[in-house]
Structure 1
């Protein structure tokens, strides 16, 4: 008989160890809609993976991990927390990263993996921007570092309780009080342990499962202290509440707890009665795991008492109802459903990784393409800039060349004047002329490389020039230079060597042919933020001047006029100053010419 009993139990436990095959056959016969939170979280995760929404994926990894942590499956919780942490890190969501790092540490602590838990508590502390959160995480890290010294752990736990209360984190306050209770039990202080568990209850009122769990822990403390009546009172009250709320799982567990208490109290009949009730309720509600647990306890008791008949009767009853139990066990269906969903999650993760890899390669190619286009654009811009610089440089060289072209004629005329003074034995005039000429040439040489000079320097230079010409043609003209009082001659800039050639033309081609003394006027007027330069003479005029000129003089005059126009055009292109130039002949009965040069008010080049 004992041999048959051994074979029977072997078959029984093999069946329970491999329930999935039976479940797979039973599923088509009876479809049960599961309300398992873990399965729901897994389905949501599967959807977010299918949508490839990174933020949702991370949130659902965390949600699924939380469900596993609540269930007590810390290994699974750790797995999904790590995935959530990787995604949050990639998305650079620091607050979420901090929260999940702390949760990961809790899962690792529950598995006694203290080294990893300490590292993650410290990491969560360093990531936190809030001083209180940082302190809470560091307290937990230090608490685990002092595993061998329960007394020193107390300080860290108490510190966290105060901080968590201040931060109004009820769930974590409850967990801290539970830690304090466990710590007190290590210190053999059952009174403080019970007080801590009771305080934890105040922060777990909205979580019935947590309340039951904490009350059962209080009952265990009473049992350890041989206060069986108090422990029984707690379990019986929990059993009554479970019956009232139709919480069959809690009812089964409380019956099992009562059985354990009765065994401790040396009241086996009451213990057997509670176990049988738990076993029957497990069968009735289709919970094979709890049926197995209750049956194992009963058989163990009968075995110690040598009551093989009772064992065989229970064994026979179990197998008679086994198929019915398996079909009605929603926990097995939930497990199978989750397994299928988790397989789908793994497949979707692989597909996501493949998509990400393809996107990464595509992005790398796009970046390479964009980089190549960018380099080509930079090269093009460099070439354009180089060509533009060359063009500007050429214009500057042309401008300098045109400016220098004006000097030889002026030098020739000046030297010709000196020669004339010498020929006429006017040594004093020649000496005075050469002195003035040398001062003027020094000024012109100093400014020869500048496109613009200050108005006061230009006026000084032009006055020296007119003084020279007046020294030679003093019988032919007088002159005046008038500068508008509203112009700041030291700050305002004017184009260099634009005005002088026009003064020279007025003297040499207009005033010197007069039989009477003429007059040359140079005026700088300020109107509408523009400087108007007027060069006006009462010489013979343009028409008569052309009649008197030789062919070479006409060519030179045309070249001189074109030179001025070209210089103005180059200045406009280089500096965008909108300089204009006009020359006109006075209407009869007056004679002479009027040159007008207009340029904007310039304070800085």
Structure 2
């Protein structure tokens, strides 16, 4: 009895002794008929009362536990009272590897602190040690079997925040508890739902003889398919780095083991990450953008329409101002004919003039009329003036121009013809009117003999010509892509006034 107490005293208060062989990662002191020291490189999992010791594949070293040496260990297992030293020395042992004899019967005497076996066990290997006394009676036996381990999550808890200081305390509490601590849920499948913003704690199954469960893990996400390296953890695994609205795959394994356990962690989204919320926000933004865009363009369109309406009113006003000017000139001509006694000619003039006035009043509110109608007005005006002055005129129309299909501002060319009559054709001269096509432009060119008076382009025609210049400016503002330009040239022989309708055929 004293020997047992002395042996336990040495085991429970370990210290390092110089010259002792370096232990492996885990050491177990087994007190039985024959006290033993078991060391493993990869973990001793469990020990049953039937004498079966489950271990991970790897290196295993079994030594006799010396009763006089101090021993450093992680676990102490007492199965029986040790034999007396004399009885122990009278025993012999043998080793069987996978049911085959590995070592013949070897006396225990003289091997009180020596290594009985130091080897590596692979997957599905077994190692059996048997002791017998001198009479052949089996006094002790146990079997080592390798077991493939796959880590298993037995419970989890979701916290609202992560406290790294509290982690050590949690590990100590979990080591003292066999079941799940308060607040943990049992895991029945390989999938875990995590509430948005939650921090998950995982309780991994630990084994009775292990000080801690050394776990290797790695996490891959749905968004990032990169496979990371393995990280080390324990039987309490806390994962604060998981982001909401993402799915993760958690892989677990033990060191130097190939068996991998996979779990799916589904981190639920925040309310603003929900699909229907995103669609609602997106549609709201799209609707707002459409409404703002519509409001902006409607406002711009109204502003442009108001400006266009103002310009059209001004242009109409200018056209209406041109009519009294034309009427005044025509009545002056009639008065002149009556004064000189040419009543018949004055009557013809008045008849033609009334036809011109009827057509002019009909188009007074129109911004554009067909070129065919405008040429007809110009022809009637020339007929009236021809009665008075007796000049000749001719028309040249480009074959590629169809007057009925083209629109022009009404009576825009009338001041040009009036100017030609006044300055060049009044003394029985001539007038040439040409309507030509040049690329995408249309030209109305009025040519007459040159008079002795030099004419300035911007003052030719007096008040009527001033009105036409204003009409061109307003038309240019309304139609910047298709403006109408004016050119005037004069030499000793003839004067030419040209209206250029830009991009009229584009």
Q: When the two structures are superposed, what TM-score results if normalisation uses the length of structure 1? A: 0.39
Kindly name which structure, 1 or 2, has the bigger radius of gyration based on alpha carbons.
2
